[in-house]
Structure 1
C-alpha cells in the first residue's frame, strides 16, 4: 500500500491511495463522503440514470482498507448516504455487507449536509466528534485548529487526469477527498479551498500511490488554466 505518511497536529497519520485516512496509533480509519445510494437518489428524483453499483464499489474499497489496516475504529465524515431515504432503501445484500464491516468496531457517523440526521444503520450518530487533539466534522470552519473534515471533494489535475486529493494545512486543518464512487469534485485551487489553506499547505493526490505536491503550485496552475479559458 503506497500510502503517504505525514504529521498533523503532532499526530502521525497516513493518507491511503483509496482516499481514506489511517491513524495507526488510534487504530482508526477515517473516510468521507461515501454517498451511498447516489444512483438510486438520482433515479428517484428524475435525474441522470447511473448504473446502480456505486454502493457496492465503495463497500469493496472500504472492506479492503479495513482488512489492510485492521482498524478497530471508523469515522465517516458525513454525506455517508446521498440522502436520508438512501439509508432506508439500501439493497439488503449491501446493508448486510456494511453491517458485517461495522460489527465489533467503534463506528461513528458524522452528520453531513446530505444526511443531516441519524439513520437506521447502527453505530453512533454525531454532529461532530473528537479523538485526542483532532476534531472531526463534515464541513471546515474558520479559525479551526486540528480539524479533519470532508464535504468539498477536492481534486487535483495531474498529467491531464483529475485525482481526488487530501488538502493539508498543519496545524489548522486536513480536508479529505470523497471516498465514494460516482462523486464529482472541486478543483483544489478553487477560491473556496484557497481561503482555507495556508501558505505552506500540501496537496496529497490519491491513485495507485499517493503523491504530495505544494498547494501553492496547484493554485498557480489553476489560475493559469482559468486565464486561458476566459
Structure 2
C-alpha cells in the first residue's frame, strides 16, 4: 500500500484516509508541571494542517485517543469537539479505533468507533492485542517508536513486509508530542508491547525530516543496531 508520511501521521492516498495514533488527549493535564503544555492548540492545529494538505475522506485515530483510564482531565471535551469539527469542516468523517487507554471512550465520543477498521486490503487497529481480521497489512500504534541518531531522539515509523502472519506491518509514532517515544535502536521483538511485532530485526525505521521536507528510510533494525 502506498503511504505518505507527514507529522507523525500516515496518509493512504489510494483510499483518501489519514491515520494518526496515540493522541492521548488529557496527557497535558496529567503531566507533572504547573502550566498547561498547549496540547489542545498543538493537536487540533496539526490535524487541521494535515487535513488541509491531504483533504482526506476519513480521519482515523488508531487507538488511545484518550490518555487517562478513569478521569476526563480539563480540556479533553473541548479538544474532542475541535477534532470532530476540524474533520467535518474538511469534508472528512472522524473514526476512532479503540486502544487500551480508551476505557472512557463511550462516555465522550458519539462518532463512529471500531476495534478494527478496514482500509482497502489493510486493517487499522491499535496494536495492543492480536487482530481478528485477516489483512494484507496492519497499521498500528501503541509502542510510540522513536529512533536515536547522534544523541537526538526522533519519532519514527516502523515498516516491515510480511512480518506478521505473512502480512505487512506499519507502526506509527505517537501523535502527541508529549510522549517522548521509546527508542527502538536496540530493541528485540520481546521488548515491544505490541504482539504484532514478531520480527523486530526486519522493521525499517522511517523518519520524516520536516526541515528538509523529505522522508528518510533506514536499514532494518537488525542491521541498524550494528551501525549505531
Fold shared per TM-score above 0.5: yes
Q: How does 1:168-183 map onto structure 2 within 5 Å?
A: 168-171=159-162, 172-183=168-179
Q: Does residue 218 of structure 1 match 2:224? A: yes
Deviates more, 1:56-65 or 1:190-199: 190-199
Give the corresponding residue for 2:94: 107
Unaligned runs of 5+ in 2: 163-167
Q: Does residue 203 of structure 1 match 2:209? A: no
Q: Let me know the Cα RMSD of the aligned residues.
A: 2.7
What SS does structure 2 have at the residue aligned with 1:33? coil
Q: Does residue 132 of structure 1 match 2:138? A: no
Q: How does 1:50-61 map onto structure 2 within 5 Å?
A: 51-61=36-46
Q: Does residue 123 of structure 1 match 2:105? A: no
What SS does structure 2 have at the residue aligned with 1:66? helix
Unaligned runs of 5+ in 1: 1-10, 223-230
CA distance in 2, matches of 1:106, 1:137: 17
Give the corresponding residue for 1:12: 2
- Relative to its length, the structure with more helix (as a share) is 1
Aligned length: 207
Q: Does residue 21 of structure 1 match 2:17? A: no
1:79-128 deviations in whole A, cap 9, x for unaligned? 11112566574366544422321324222101111113434233211112
CA distance in 2, matches of 1:140, 1:114: 10
Give the corresponding residue for 2:165: none
CA distance in 2, matches of 1:95, 1:198: 34
Q: How does 1:141-152 map onto structure 2 within 5 Å?
A: 145-152=136-143
* Contact in 2 for aligned 1:78/1:112 (Cα 8 Å): yes
* Contact in 1 for aligned 2:159/2:204 (Cα 8 Å): yes
CA distance in 2, matches of 1:126, 1:49: 35
What SS does structure 2 have at the residue aligned with 1:177? coil
1:40-64 deviations in whole A, cap 9, x for unaligned? 234xxxx454533123211111111
Match of 2:20 among 28, 31, 36: 31
TM-score by length of 2: 0.79
CA distance in 1, matches of 2:146, 2:173: 7
Deviates more, 1:155-164 or 1:115-124: 115-124
CA distance in 2, matches of 1:79, 1:93: 17
